[in-house]
């Protein structure tokens, strides 16, 4: 079966990609549980972009809901320190064939994980990078969202970096140029595959272990936005030391390393953060699907392990970071707090003296509230894909209903603040397939 008009097919790492002809030179850069990413050259925008192919977006109701959520989250983000959506497309020519979904975003040159491996950063660089990270995080949190997977590889910067990643995700080579003046470096927060609203009950199996807040490991259901602030503290500590702050080898070892630095929790705190686990076998099954590797029993094991530990006092961070700016260490103390309710928030951290030369309350915007009602509804797979048993007015369309009209012939042109929706034919002479300007709606909203 040939590719549809205006598209071409290419197999990369045993995965078939079918993308519009405007995206040339597809090159794999990474993959994970939720999809694969390629870099590409956009002949319309004349720039490199990142194209993400979602992994089995409609395999199940959970996959469908997650795909829809990631799409809406990317659409919602309009901030220079948070990744945003340039384009969304599918090679499907009909709703019945709609089984693939691709998202296009800006391609950043390198991430903090690559940079910290190859060079030590000055205090001025750390200041500006963490300030920009917190600036983006304040925006995310103001929308009522939690990122849940902050780590150096999810914080990209706009420096030249040739990164080649093998199929096993191990780095093969990376030529990282020294960072320029800090104010020429603009990081962006990436990957919203695990982001969600601040619900009362949430899943604990999130985030890479080394950057995971202790309350997530100890309490699978209840936490707040300050889990991200723990992750920022881990990232900041890594930038200052040049190595991972809590490199646990497994779940239990991770907790031990954290306690060795911040001290063992009091019985009152342990009771507070270990108040509830996954409820029932159904909850266990759902979470094991949404987060592969999830094991609720680890939470109970972790509690028993901590209770068996001898008392460990909190270490003096000035000794651990003896060469660091004292103001930086003071901020770390406020981030790496075991009790999440006592942890500094992103908004509060921005006004810390460590960022005095950058802090500008008028240039630290907040986001409009994120409405999760659409994605929290119960729908069938067909409804998630956009098919509805009853006709709807275009303004009331929900789900991925852009395929009930020829949206697939449209591509978003990434100019922040003034994005236009135009057909392929308007740009590069490719067939537009009789596309018409789509109606406004809640499915795949106009950027």
pLDDT at 169: 20
Q: Which residues does 83 contact at the CB level (< 8 Å), separation at least 6?
A: 74, 77, 105, 106, 156, 188, 189, 190, 191, 192
pLDDT at 185: 57
pLDDT at 16: 92
Q: Please name every residue paired with 174 in a beta bridge, in sequence order, or none if there are none.
A: 163
pLDDT at 258: 94
Query: Does the annotation place 53 within a ligand binding site?
Result: yes
Contact 348, 232 (CB under 8 A): no
Active-site choice (191, 297, 341, 419):
191
pLDDT at 57: 82
362 catalytic residue (yes or no):
no
Distance from C-alpha of 211 to C-alpha of 258, rounded to nearest angstrom = 10
- Please choose, from the candidates 235, 109, 238, the residue with its C-alpha nearest in 3D space to the C-alpha of residue 178: 109
Domains along the chain? 7-107+369-428 (3.30.200.20), 110-161+176-363 (1.10.510.10)
pLDDT at 143: 92
Structure tokens at 347: 């908004």
pLDDT at 419: 36
**In order along the chain (447 residues), what is the average pLDDT of each group of 10 residues?**
86 92 93 84 94 85 82 87 89 83 86 84 92 94 90 76 21 39 63 45 53 80 85 96 92 90 86 54 44 53 77 93 96 95 96 97 94 79 55 33 37 35 33 31 31
Neighbours of 382 (CB within 10 A): 16
pLDDT at 200: 38
pLDDT at 387: 34
């Amino acid at each position: 079966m040939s590719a549809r008009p205006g598209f071409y097919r290419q197999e990369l790492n045993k995965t078939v990609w079918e993308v519009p002809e405007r995206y040339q030179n597809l090159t794999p850069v990474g993959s994970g549980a939720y999809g694969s990413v390629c870099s590409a050259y956009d002949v319309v925008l004349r720039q490199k972009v990142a194209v993400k192919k979602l992994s089995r977006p409609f395999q199940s109701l959970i996959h469908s809901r997650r795909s829809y959520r990631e799409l809406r989250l990317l659409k919602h983000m309009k901030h220079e320190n948070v990744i945003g959506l340039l384009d969304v497309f599918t090679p499907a020519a009909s709703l019945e064939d709609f089984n693939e979904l691709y998202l296009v975003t800006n391609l950043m040159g390198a991430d903090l994980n690559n940079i910290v491996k190859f060079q030590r950063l000055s205090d001025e660089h750390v200041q500006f990078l963490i300030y920009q990270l917190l600036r983006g995080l304040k925006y995310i949190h103001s929308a009522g969202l939690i990122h849940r997977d902050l780590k150096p590889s999810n914080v990209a910067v706009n420096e030249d970096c040739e990164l080649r990643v093998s199929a096993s995700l191990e780095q093969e080579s990376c030529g990282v140029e020294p960072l320029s003046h800090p104010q020429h470096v603009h990081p962006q927060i990436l990957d919203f595959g695990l982001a969600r609203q601040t619900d009362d009950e949430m899943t604990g199996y999130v985030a890479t272990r080394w950057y995971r807040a202790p309350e997530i490991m100890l309490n699978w259901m209840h936490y707040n936005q300050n889990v991200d602030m723990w992750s920022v503290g881990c990232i900041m500590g890594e930038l200052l030391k040049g190595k991972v702050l809590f490199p646990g080898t497994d779940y239990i070892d991770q907790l031990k390393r954290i306690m060795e630095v911040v001290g063992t929790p009091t019985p009152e705190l342990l009771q507070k953060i270990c108040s509830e686990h996954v409820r029932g076998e159904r909850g266990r099954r759902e979470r094991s699907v949404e987060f592969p590797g999830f094991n609720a029993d680890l939470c109970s094991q972790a509690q028993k392990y901590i209770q068996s530990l001898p008392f460990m006092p909190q270490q003096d961070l000035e000794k651990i970071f003896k060469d660091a700016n004292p103001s930086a260490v003071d901020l770390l103390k406020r981030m790496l707090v075991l009790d999440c309710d006592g942890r500094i928030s992103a908004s509060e951290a921005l006004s810390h003296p460590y960022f005095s030369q950058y802090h500008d309350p008028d240039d630290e915007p907040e986001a409009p509230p994120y409405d999760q009602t659409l994605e929290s509804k119960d729908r069938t797979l067909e409804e998630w894909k956009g098919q509805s048993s009853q006709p709807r007015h275009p303004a009331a369309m929900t789900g991925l209903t852009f395929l009930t009209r020829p949206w697939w012939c449209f591509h978003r042109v990434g100019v922040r603040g003034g994005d236009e929706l135009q057909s392929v034919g308007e740009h590069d002479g490719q067939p537009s397939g009789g596309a018409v300007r789509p109606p406004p709606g809640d499915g795949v909203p106009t950027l």
